[in-house]
Structure formats: structure tokens, C-alpha cells
Amino acid sequence: MTAATALDADQAPGQAASLDAPQTPGQLTLPAPTGRYRVGTVDLHLRDSSRTDPWVPGQQRELMVSLWYPATHTSHYPAAQLPVSQQVLPGGVTLPTTAGHTGAPVDRRAGKLPVVLYSPGLHGSRAQSTALVQDLASRGYLVVTLDHTHDSSDVVFPDGRHEVNTMPPGSHSSHTIAIRAADTHFVINQLSRIAHGHNPDVEHKPLPHGLSKAVNINRIGMFGASLGGGAVPAAMHADSRIDAGANLDGQLFGSAIDKPLDRPFLLFSSEHHNRNSDRSWARFWRHLHGERLDLKLRGSGHNSFVDHQVLFPQAPGAFGLTPPQLEQILGTIDPNRSIEVQRTYLAAFFDKHLRHRHSDLLDGPSRHYPEVDFIR
């Protein structure tokens, strides 16, 4: 997780005014989850025997995913590291320990868990938005984060094998998005198998106790950041089981832009990006026939919608960034406030459409969150 993978490969840092940020080595942290439940997590190795890997001919498609969920008895289970290969950065800076506890039992008090899938930015990791993911889990969701093998920069499998980015130069984003949509469809099928008492893990790793009875396969949402957000409409067209989608600052590509979509959709953009400046968003907006929202987070940058928002300012040098570069990619918004706002609006959106819990927050501007503009 270096500046080279600052969400998308084509999002290079630029020079800007300095942010006051500590650069001393140490343990980085993520904001604690705000929901009522403690959090469990488990990594699963999945193999799609019906599909050849689109980037490496001759191989079956294999994916690593992480499941995050409300958990109990977490003190008996180890705290999980971020599912990335490099835990220690230059200067001895260590990536955060997550709020998740590996393999902890599902908390039955949370009842049936709506599912929310997450797709990261181009060449990004499924760990990229852990601050948002573990917060949703603490609020009673089963959140499933996907690594898109050979698109992600580095995916580590249980046997120690590293599968790196093998996408050919000049790969079309519409093709990449179609592959991600197929990955998502496959993962939903595996969740359905879990709900029916099966274990799809290739190594037959024990699933957390209570998981199969907790999966609510009839309530599914999806969100993503950057290209991952851009993949959500294609995934929704490829799989009608996805009831609601959210795109965090991702440009849209492919035929899904011009197909009617009658399910709820949230567009959430950075300061200088919305449908008034992105033709792909404007085209997509015209074809949305369910509830549609176009929100802008004032003071934010493209990288504000992933953990970079809170990690980069803690130790810019460890990520290969100078303080003057931070404002260009993260904007001027306070990092913790940025994550708080995103968590609040994502939860309100999925609560409404996966749990039928109405929130006035989605009706219009709020004095409690003046950073959020409704683009009408």
C-alpha cells in the first residue's frame, strides 16, 4: 500500500499546499467502528471452476474475499491485520490492526444480516476501505470485500502464492468492469451456498459459528471506490439480486451507463467531481429510475473515499508522499470528519433500502452535515 497504489494507477499525487501531519514512525490507526456490535472477520479462498481467468489463460478463476460481520466473544479470537502482504512500511511504520477478530462467532442478536459487497479501486486491495467496511459490520451488516485477482496489485492466497497485476497495458476499463461484475455474481452465488449450509472455501477453512444461519441472501447491496464504484452498475445489471448500489467517486465505463436501472443508487463525489463535470455520471443519471442521489463531499479529494484519507496524514513519508502532496489527493477536509460523514450516509442509504429504515438524512441538506451538498 504505497503512494503508487493511491487508489488508481492514473491518480498521481500533485503539488499543493502543506498539511500539518505527523511523520514519526509508529503504529497507524483507523477510526473505531461506531455500531453497537463487535466485529468478526474471516478470509475465504474461492475458485470458480466454470470460468477461466480472464487475465491468465489456462487458469481457473480464483478469488480472495474477506467477510466482516457482527461478532461475539471476540476477546477469545485474535485481532485481524489488514489483508495485505506488506504490514510494515518504510521508516518502521506499521499498518493498523483492524477492529475485526478472526473467526469469532456471529452475534445472533444481530439477526439476519443484510449483505453489502465491496469492490476496490483499479489495482487496489480489498483492504482499501476497511474504515467504512468494519463500521458497516458493527451496525449489523455482513460486508464482503473482493480482491479481483490479476487486477489487484498483489493477492496472497493461503498457500503463500502471490498473484500480481497482469493486466496488459491499455486494457479497457469497460472490460475490467465486466470482469468485476462476473466476479461479484460468482461471490453472491457462494454466499448463497453458505446460506444453505455449504462451505465454498477451497481449503475448507471452518466458517465462523452461526454464519450460515445469519446470511440474508434476499437483502444485498454493493458499493465501491473509484473504479470499484464504477463497477457497481455493471454488477447490478449482471445480477438482479443486488438491491441497491453506491459509487464513491468512480467514473463509469461500458454499456451499463446507458441501460435503465430501476433500483436505488447513490453517487457520492469529491469536491471537484459530480455529474456536472463527469459526462458518464450525467448519462447514467438519466437512466436511473429508482431512488437516485448525487451527493458531493465538500473539501474532499479522490482518495478521501478510502483509508488513505486517515492513513496518509499520519505518516506521509512512509507512503512516499511529501506533505505538500497530500492536499491534492485528499483535499482539505478533516480526515476523521470525512470518514464519519461517509459512514453516516452509507449506513443511512443501505439502512433505507436493505432494512426499510427511513432516514431524513437522505431527504436533503442537513445542518448536522453541512459538508454534504445535494446535487439536484
Buried b (16+ CB within 10 A) or exposed e, 199-231: bbbeeeeebbbbbbebbbbebbbbbbbbbbbbb
Nearest by Cα to 296 from 230, 375, 351, 218: 375
Amino acid at 25: P
Instruction: Show the low-confidence residues of the chain (pLDDT under 70).
Output: 1-25
Domain interval for residue 264: 3-374
Q: What nine digits make up the cell of 226?
A: 473509484
Question: Residue 94 has what pLDDT?
Answer: 96
Residue 213 phi, psi (nearest 5): -80, -15
Q: Number of structural domains, the chain?
A: 1
Question: Residue 322 has what pLDDT?
Answer: 84
Which CATH number characterizes residue 14's domain? 3.40.50.1820
**Pairing between β-strand 215-225 and β-strand 244-248 as defined by DSSP bridges:** parallel
Question: Residue 323 has what pLDDT?
Answer: 77
